[in-house]
Structure 1
């Protein structure tokens, strides 16, 4: 039997965190999933640790190692291409999820028949650990008027997405971008979805390991070039999808 959920985890040099990330998947109360790890040619012990953890688990899994460093978008696209689940869930290899994450998200997908359900997230570990289950959620349409709320409401790495929407419409992450590729993917995805559920529960801990954009050694020229490239891309996509040139502050994640 094919898994209901494919968890796609791009991994690069996260030996300090990958075991905790995988254990948060293994400990899920909802069990019908597969774990797909795309190792982006890590130079540390990430691959060995991930292999050992998954080998000792009862989970379905697949580990692929890239021949060279190819970037997170390439890795996610590779994961999409080999996934077998009805739904796709992206998880970063240094982050963790709450043990009832899939139980909550899949219940919303199946009961309300929606193609996309976001969970809430936190960058604060204490907030993530102490947050109590609320069962509250909001429903948004995907009109231009709700677009900014949807882009801010959740990470692409904390959404349960109907895989048929992705594969039937050939949606992929833009491998030419190394900044804001998540936002571009979201906008392309929302083009094919009428309504979205955003769950209030904090289901995802977004760990900040090395935020190069706020680093003191940040190359301002390169950052401006990245933002400009992303801005042009977003403006083009939004204009095509919504026949309107939208507010450029969408790029502020």
Structure 2
């Protein structure tokens, strides 16, 4: 008999946080699940800890890569392919959650809801809660996240997910396995370093309904190993390239109006990348039309060079 949940824990060099993650998974109040432990050739003590769970009754797989795959999404793909549950939870190895996380999500995963995610609290590397919840509202006039909601996935994309990734942490998300398609793990996704999770959610919610639970059930860890904490100029360029792939996908596969999409993405890109750049801000204000043409020309060239 298949389990209700398949919990995938992809790990790379998170031995300092791994035990807390495992404890928060195995001690869930809802216990009908399997656990798939994946390690992408860690150089710390992660493999030793994960191998100690080989005979745990809830663990169906422990896979330790000899060589690093080069992409966290290859681990996602591997875990989902192994999953036997009705629902999938990718529980990142450096985060943790409340013990009623699965039980609460399951109550919302009914009918035509294929994806659900919960409110998250930021935590530091010691696991202590920081003072703020994840802020989803920046760039939006309305705060739909102040309450629980259910929404058509296509509307969620056009109104919210089009502009930026408003599902910032995979650990907060549970989804039905049968809405996953092999084509999601395409060349574009597997090559991404900055926007891959955003691209995955865009594909995932496009043909289903999504729900949000306004409860602090997930804890999103900030620490020195996280790439989002080292956002340099090179990563800004990488993000720009990856956003061009996302925009092309939205245009071709989702039928999003190109002019509307470009304007929304440009405004968001401008806010993200020009906070401290006086020249870019002045250029945008004095010559907005030319600024758009320069940015989109650069993205078009990048897309052609990196077409999937």
Q: Return the TM-score normalized by structure 1.
A: 0.85
The corresponding residue for 1:209 is 223
Q: Between Structure 1 and Structure 2, how many residues are aligned?
A: 239
The corresponding residue for 2:16 is 16
The corresponding residue for 2:243 is 231
Let me know the Cα RMSD of the aligned residues. 2.4
The corresponding residue for 1:137 is 148
**Residue aligned with 1:224, SS:** helix
Structure 1: which 5+ runs fail to align? Answer: 129-135
Further displaced range: 119-128 or 5-14:
119-128
Of structures 1 and 2, the one with the larger relative CO (CA 8 A, separation 6+) is 1
Contact 2:122 2:129 in 1 (8 A): no
The corresponding residue for 1:59 is 58
CA distance in 1, matches of 2:211, 2:228: 30
Is residue 182 from structure 1 mapped to residue 197 from structure 2 by the alignment? yes
Q: CA deviation at 1:3?
A: 1.1
Contact 1:118 1:154 in 2 (8 A): no
The corresponding residue for 2:26 is 26
Contact 1:13 1:43 in 2 (8 A): yes
CA distance in 2, matches of 1:85, 1:116: 15
Which of structures 1 and 2 has the bigger CA Rg?
2
Contact 1:86 1:163 in 2 (8 A): yes
Task: Give a deviation string over 1:100-147, Cα, whole Å, max 9, x none.
Answer: 00000011113x44111111111134369xxxxxxx611122211243
Contact 1:26 1:57 in 2 (8 A): no
Contact 1:38 1:76 in 2 (8 A): no
**Residue aligned with 1:67, SS:** coil
Q: CA deviation at 1:150?
A: 8.8
Q: Return the TM-score normalized by structure 2.
A: 0.71
- Structure 1 residues 16 and 42, CA, compared in 2 at 3 Å: closer, same or farther? same
Structure 2: which 5+ runs fail to align? Answer: 132-146, 273-308
